[in-house]
Amino acid sequence: MLSLSRKDVIKLAVLAAIVLTMPIWLAPFGAAYPGLMQKFVIYAIFAVGFNILFGLTGYLSFGHAAFLGVGSYTAVWSFKLLTMDIIPAMIFAIIFSGLFALVIGYFCLRRSGIYFSILTLAFAQMSYSLAYSVLTPITNGETGLLVARSDPRVIDGLLGADGMANGLPTPSLLGVSLSGYAGFYICAAFLIAAFFVSQKVFASPFGMALRGIKSNPTRMIYTGFNTKPYMLTAFVISGMFAGLAGGLLAVTDPIAGAERMKWTESGNVVLMTILGGVGTLFGPVVGAWLIKYFENIFSAINVNVLNDFFAVLPDGLQAVMVTILSKFTGEGWHLTLGLVFVLIVVFLPGGLVEGAERLIRRLRRSGRTAVKKKVVQQ
């Protein structure tokens, strides 16, 4: 059950090493803050889950943010009603988003292609609008759902732990407060676990069946597969991943707002997966990190930073460089993102990971031909 092929074990070890050493290697990029790294890791989980659906089955969901939102709301409610411990919060977040995905998936998967995309989009937008309007008793509308001192927290009350040394209660794991690096490492552990699950899915007969459905659904049906339950399972699994990510977002900051369910957020996870590489294991992780990095660091590069950077150049040239580049950084980081995105879809449909693989293959081949030439000369 827990065994992996040798290749996959190496991949998992590489990922674990990369994730756990993030505080070290992100430092030169100016992104080694626990809060930011937590976001990197959480969105990687989101994208890895999305990739199980989109990468394996080819069904492009434009409504995955709904599950992220459901996960967040569930986690905050668990914080409010039961305990500040994250274990029940995560379990409930996964269960509820899974159930939600089951219902939505049941309807959406009756159609494929663009209709599926529009259906998921419609359901997600409905959840978003309802969270803002009618469901305010549950979601607290525009303000967002917050943890308060006066919440009941039944289990905490029974155990006598109040978990609020200063001001508001903070999420904890078995009594250990999860602020700063502790929170990051917990999220990192979840990412490694999520990556492991996605590896298992990719390597399993179930994953093979999904790939089969992607490449030729009719033939799969003729071979005697009932494709519906397979698709639905994939949809629910990826919804659960999104729910877990949403729950973890609530751990970093115990507030849940409806804007997490907006369709732009769904669009974001699509971008992450495509940018990194659809259907690859590492792709979504890389894509999520890149986009979050752009969003948080690139957007902070303002005119002053650019001026400092180009201070070595002569004044006129400096001004020119700064005016040009300032359009692409800071407030304009979306422009860079859009351009990169268009370029990738046009020239590198497989995403960054495929690009890297191609590069490696070419290097190897040229290495091999060089060796051959030597042999011939001798």
Residue 274 makes contact with another protein by CB under 8 A: yes
CA 332, chain centre distance (Å): 23
Q: Which two tokens stand for residue 217?
A: 């659904």
Q: Which of residues 193-232 bind another protein (CB under 8 A)?
A: none
Member of 5, 21, 87, 113 binding another protein (CB under 8 A): 113
Member of 112, 177, 227, 318 binding another protein (CB under 8 A): 112
Member of 20, 95, 111, 296 binding another protein (CB under 8 A): 111
Member of 83, 117, 139, 170 binding another protein (CB under 8 A): 117
Q: Using CA atoms, how far apart are residues 70 and 92, in angstroms rounded to an integer?
A: 10
Q: Which of residues 314-353 bind another protein (CB under 8 A)?
A: 327, 331-332, 334-335, 337-339, 341-342, 345-346, 349
Three-class DSSP labels, the chain = CCCCCHHHHHHHHHHHHHHHCHHHHCHHHCCCCHHHHHHHHHHHHHHHHHHHHHHHHCCCCCCCHHHHHHHHHHHHHHHHHCCCEHHHHHHHHHHHHHHHHHHHHHHHCCCCHHHHHHHHHHHHHHHHHHHHCCCHHHHCCCCCEECCCCCCCHHHHHHCCCCCCCCCCCCEECCEECCCHHHHHHHHHHHHHHHHHHHHHHHCHHHHHHHHHHHCHHHHHHCCCCHHHHHHHHHHHHHHHHHHHHHHHHHHCCEECHHHHCHHHHHHHHHHHHHHCCCCCCHHHHHHHHHHHHHHCHHHCCHHHHHHHCCCCCHHHHHHHHHHHHCCCHHHHHHHHHHHHHHHHHHCCCHHHHHHHHHHHHHHHHHHHHHHHHHHHC
Query: By C-beta, is 13 or 138 nearer to another protein?
Result: 138
Q: How far is the CB of 92 from another protein (least distance, A)?
A: 25
Member of 23, 88, 267, 355 binding another protein (CB under 8 A): 267
Among 96, 75, 95, 77, residue whose Cα is nearest residue 86: 75
Q: How far is the CB of 261 from another protein (least distance, A)?
A: 13
Query: By C-beta, is 218 or 378 nearer to another protein?
Result: 218
Q: How far is the CB of 347 from another protein (least distance, A)?
A: 10
Neighbouring residues of 335: CB distance < 8 A, sequence distance ≥ 6: 327, 328
Member of 110, 149, 362, 372 binding another protein (CB under 8 A): 110
Query: By C-beta, is 313 or 320 nearer to another protein?
Result: 320
Query: By C-beta, is 123 or 293 nearer to another protein?
Result: 123
Residue given tokens 């020119």 in the structure block:
320
Q: How far is the CB of 90 from another protein (least distance, A)?
A: 30
Residue 255 makes contact with another protein by CB under 8 A: no
Q: How far is the CB of 224 from another protein (least distance, A)?
A: 21
Residue 277 makes contact with another protein by CB under 8 A: no
Q: How far is the CB of 108 from another protein (least distance, A)?
A: 9
Q: How far is the CB of 123 from another protein (least distance, A)?
A: 7
Binding mask 120-159 for another protein (x = CB under 8 A): -xxx-xx--xx-xxxx------------------------
Q: How far is the CB of 142 from another protein (least distance, A)?
A: 13
Contact 279, 149 (CB under 8 A): no
Member of 42, 60, 93, 213 binding another protein (CB under 8 A): 60
Query: By C-beta, is 59 or 190 nearer to another protein?
Result: 59
What does the binding site for another protein look like in residue numbers (CB under 8 A)? 58, 60, 107, 110-115, 117-119, 121-123, 125-126, 129-130, 132-135, 263-264, 267, 270, 274, 327, 331-332, 334-335, 337-339, 341-342, 345-346, 349
